[in-house]
Structure 1
C-alpha cells in the first residue's frame, strides 16, 4: 500500500511539474508573440512617421544647394523626355551616366502621358520620390541597429538621424550624392557586420553596385568594407566569382547599355569619369582647398552638434563597429587627397556616424536630457534657415519668369550670373530662349584658356557692348545679382532696361553672388 501511495504521489508531482512547464512554455510563447506583435506595430508606426517626416522635410526645403541637383539630374531628365533643354559639358564629353536621370525621366514621362506635366509637378515629384527613398533608408537604419544593438541604441540612432541638419538639407534633393547616401545606407543593412556564415551577399552587393553606377566615388566608402568581407569569408573564391563579379558585371552592363542608348554611341562612362576627374584632375578647375579641409571644416560642419556624441560613441564602440570607423576615416583621407572638396562628397558616411551617436546617447544617462535638448535646438534652427531662407533666390526667380511661357512675343532671357546659378527648362517647362554665361574647363590643355564667365566678369560692360552690337540682338530680360548692378548700369539705362523685380537670395553673399537678384526688362 505504501508503495502504491508513493507511486501515486510521484505521478501527481510529475504531472504538476509538467503542468507548470506547459504553463511556462505557453507564457513564454504568449510573451514572444505579444512582443513580436508590438514590435510589428511599432515598425509600422516608425515607417509611417518616417514617410510623413521626410515629406514635410521635402516641402520645407525650398532653397538651392549646388547646381548639380538640377544640371546632373532634372535638366537631363527633362531633355530626355521633352527633347529640349541644355546639357553641360560633362554630358557632351560622356562623363556622366544616364541611369540616375532615367529615374526622374520615368516620372516625367508618366506625367506627360497623363497630361499632368505642369511645371509644379515636374519640380516637386522627383523630390518627393527622393524623400520616400530617404524615409525607407531611415527605417532600415533603425532596424539594422536594433538587430546589432539594443532597442535603446536603435531608438537614439534613429533620433540622431532625423535630427541631423545636413541630412535634412540634402536627403530630399535630386543630387547624385543623396541617392548615393540612400543606397549606401540600404546596402549597410544587408552587409555582414555581425556574421558571415549565414549571410547572403547578393542584396548588399547589388545596392553597392547601383551606388557606384549613380556615383563612381561610392566605391571609396565601400572599399574597406568589401576588402574586410573578402578577408573574413572562408570561401573567398566563391564570394568573388559567384557573387561579387556577376553582380558587378550585370550592373555595369545594364548601365552601359542605358548610356549607349541615350548617347547614341558606344561609351564607357565610368572610365571617362575616372580619367578626367582623377588622372587629369579636371575638378580642380572649379576650386581647390587645403588637404586638411575635411578634418578642419568639412566633417565638423556636416556633423554639426553631433560631433561630440560621435567622438564619444567611437570611444565606447565594440569591436564589430571598428570597421565603420575605418571606413569613415578612409573616406576622409582619400577625399583629402583630391584638390576639389565639397561638403556633400562626404555625406554618404553620415549615417555611419549616427550609429555611434546613438551608442553615446544610451550611455549618457544623466546627461541625456541636456544632450537631446542641445541636439534639437542646434539642428532645428540651421535646418530651417538653410532650407527656407539661405540661397532661395535662384529658385524664386524661375517663378517670376514663368509668365513668359505664356507670352505671345519671343522672350530672350539673359542670366548674367555665375554659370549654372539657376535651373533652366526643368523649372520653366517651355521653349523660350535662355542664355547664360558658360564655364566649361579647357580639355585641350591650352595654358591661356579663359572661360566665358571669367571673360565677362573681367570687364562686364565691354562684354555686353561687344556681344550685343545692335538693338535687335538685345535680350528682352536680364537677370543679375545686385552686386553687378553698378558695373553695368550704363548699359541698362542706355538700352532702356527697367527693373521689374527684386528677389531675396541670401544674407551671406560670397564672391560674385549678391544678397538679391534683380530682373530687368525692356
Structure 2
C-alpha cells in the first residue's frame, strides 16, 4: 500500500505504509518511544565525548556575576564544564558535539535551557536520525531486492535489541551507523553513477569526520565502486577529491575555531589510537574477540537468519559481505575492542536477515515471532535496568542546584568515588556546583612510575582521602560511590 507524498519524494523517502500508517511516521514514533524507553547508561563516551563537550561549548564561560558576587565562598573552578584528556590532546573533533551545542544555544536564547530539555533533546534528535536510517534501510532493501525483502529487513532492523539499545544514544558510533545507512541508500551497487556519486561520498565523508574509523567499513565499498566505474579518473577528480576536500576543510575550520589553534583531529585520532595504541590503556581483548564474542552479542538472535541470508545472497551482495567481514577483521587487529565499534555494520546484516525470512515461507511467522520475543527481553533489560543507577543518581543530585541558588552555605561539593567517567557531569546538572571525580588519563609521556588517580585511590582509599582532603573544612558535602566500596 502506498501513500503519496510530494514532501517524502522530495526528501528521497519511500511513501510505503505499514498497518495503514506512513512508514516514515511509524519509524519516527517507534524511535521516539525507543528513546524514552532507554533510560540506562552504556559507555562514558555517550556523555563525555558529546554532551559534556556541547555543554561546555555553550555554557563554559567564566561564571556569571551572581556567582562571582559570592566569591568569598567560591569553592568551584571559574570555568563551567570539563574536558577529558582527549580534548586537551586534540584527538576529538567538535563537529559532532556542535550539533548538540546548537540545540543548547537555541534553548539558552529562548530561556528554556532546563536540565530536562538539555538531556532529552539531543537524544530526540538522534532518535529522529535513527528513524530516517530505518526508512532508508527499507528503501535499500527494496531497490536491491524486492518489496517483500524490504518489509522483512525493516522488521529485523526494528527487532534488533542492540539497535534499540544504541541507536538513540549520543554516541559517535550511533551517528556513524546512521550516516552509513544514509550513504548506502545512494551507493551505486550495480552499475556506475559518476554524476550522482557526490551524494553518498558526502555522507561517507561526514561519517569519517564524526569517527575516522568509519573509513574501515567503507573501504571495500569504495574500492568496489572504483573497480566497477568506467571513468575512474572522473570519479576521483570530479567527485571524490572535491567532496573529501570540502568536508575536511569545514571540519578543520570548526576544530581550529574551538581549539583556538591549528588542529588536524583525524590524524591525531589515528595516531593515538592506531599507531600509538593508547586505547590499550582502557582494556584489551584477544584477537578473536569480535569473532568469538563481540559480533555474536551484537547481532544476537538474528545470527541464524544472517547466516542463512549469507548463503542465499552471497553472490549478489558479496560487497556487503566483504565490508562486514573486513570490518570485523580490521578491528580484530586493534587490542582495545568494544561492542559499539562494530555497530555500524549491523544494518548491513539486517539485509541478509530480511532475505532469509522471505525464503522461510511456512516457517516465517513462527521465526518472526521468536525473533521478536528473543530480542524483546534483552532490549527491555538493557534499556530499563542495566546500568541505570549512574543516571538516576544525577537526577537525585539536581536538587543541589536549588540549594546553590538559595545561597545557602556551604556551597554543595560532590565527590564521585567510582571508576572514572562512570556518571555524566555538568550536562546532567546544568549548574556550576563543584564536582570532582577520580581522573584516569593514560600515560602519554612514557613515565615508568605513572599511576592515574583512580588506581591510586583503589589501592589505598583512606590514604588518598587523607592526602586529598587534609582539612575537614575542605571535605565534600556529598559523596557518590558504588555499594561495594561502601562496605
- 1:37-69 Cα shifts (integer Å, max 9, x gaps): 598352871100000000000000000000000
2:402 is equivalent to residue 427 of structure 1: no
TM-score of the aligned structures, taking structure 2 as reference length: 0.91
2:38 is equivalent to residue 61 of structure 1: yes
Larger Rg: 1
Residue 213 (structure 2) aligned to one of 209, 212, 217: 217
2:258 is equivalent to residue 283 of structure 1: no
Residue 170 (structure 2) aligned to one of 170, 174, 188: 174
- Distance (Å, rounded) in 1 between the aligned partners of 2:84 and 2:230: 47
8 Å CA contact 2:191, 2:229 repeated in 1: no
Q: State the match for 1:255 in structure 2.
A: 251
Q: Give the SS at the match of 2:173.
A: helix
1:199: Cα distance to partner?
A: 6.0
- Distance (Å, rounded) in 2 between the aligned partners of 1:36 and 1:60: 29
- Distance (Å, rounded) in 2 between the aligned partners of 1:378 and 1:231: 41
2:29 is equivalent to residue 52 of structure 1: yes
RMSD: 1.4
Residue 242 (structure 2) aligned to one of 236, 239, 246: 246
- Distance (Å, rounded) in 1 between the aligned partners of 2:255 and 2:209: 11
TM-score of the aligned structures, taking structure 1 as reference length: 0.85
Q: Give the SS at the match of 1:391.
A: coil
- Distance (Å, rounded) in 2 between the aligned partners of 1:227 and 1:150: 26
Q: State the match for 1:42 in structure 2.
A: 17
Aligned residue pairs, count: 453
Q: State the match for 1:203 in structure 2.
A: 199
Unaligned regions of 5+ residues in structure 2, if any? Answer: 6-13, 61-79
Q: State the match for 1:447 in structure 2.
A: 448
Q: 4+ residue runs of structure 1 moved beyond 4 angstroms?
A: 34-39
- 1:171-227 Cα shifts (integer Å, max 9, x gaps): 000000000000000000000112215761010000000000000000000000001
Question: CA 1:401–1:104 in 2, change beyond 3 Å: closer, same or farther?
Answer: same
Question: CA 1:318–1:292 in 2, change beyond 3 Å: closer, same or farther?
Answer: closer
- Distance (Å, rounded) in 2 between the aligned partners of 1:109 and 1:204: 30
55-64 vs 372-381, greater mean Cα deviation = 372-381
Q: State the match for 2:340 in structure 1.
A: 344
- Distance (Å, rounded) in 1 between the aligned partners of 2:482 and 2:2: 60
- Distance (Å, rounded) in 1 between the aligned partners of 2:3 and 2:381: 41
Question: CA 1:301–1:124 in 2, change beyond 3 Å: closer, same or farther?
Answer: same
- Distance (Å, rounded) in 2 between the aligned partners of 1:206 and 1:418: 39
1:449: Cα distance to partner?
A: 0.9
Q: State the match for 1:322 in structure 2.
A: 318
2:139 is equivalent to residue 162 of structure 1: no
Question: CA 1:291–1:463 in 2, change beyond 3 Å: closer, same or farther?
Answer: same
Unaligned regions of 5+ residues in structure 1, if any? Answer: 1-33, 487-522
Structure-to-structure mapping, 1:216-235, within 5 angstroms:
216-235=212-231
Q: Give the SS at the match of 1:200.
A: helix
Residue 403 (structure 1) aligned to one of 399, 402, 420: 399
1:170: Cα distance to partner?
A: 0.2
Which structure ranks higher in relative contact order (CA pairs < 8 Å, sequence separation ≥ 6)?
Answer: 2
- Distance (Å, rounded) in 2 between the aligned partners of 1:358 and 1:67: 33
- Distance (Å, rounded) in 2 between the aligned partners of 1:314 and 1:438: 45
8 Å CA contact 2:4, 2:15 repeated in 1: yes
Q: State the match for 1:18 in structure 2.
A: none
Q: Give the SS at the match of 1:64.
A: coil
Q: State the match for 1:141 in structure 2.
A: 137
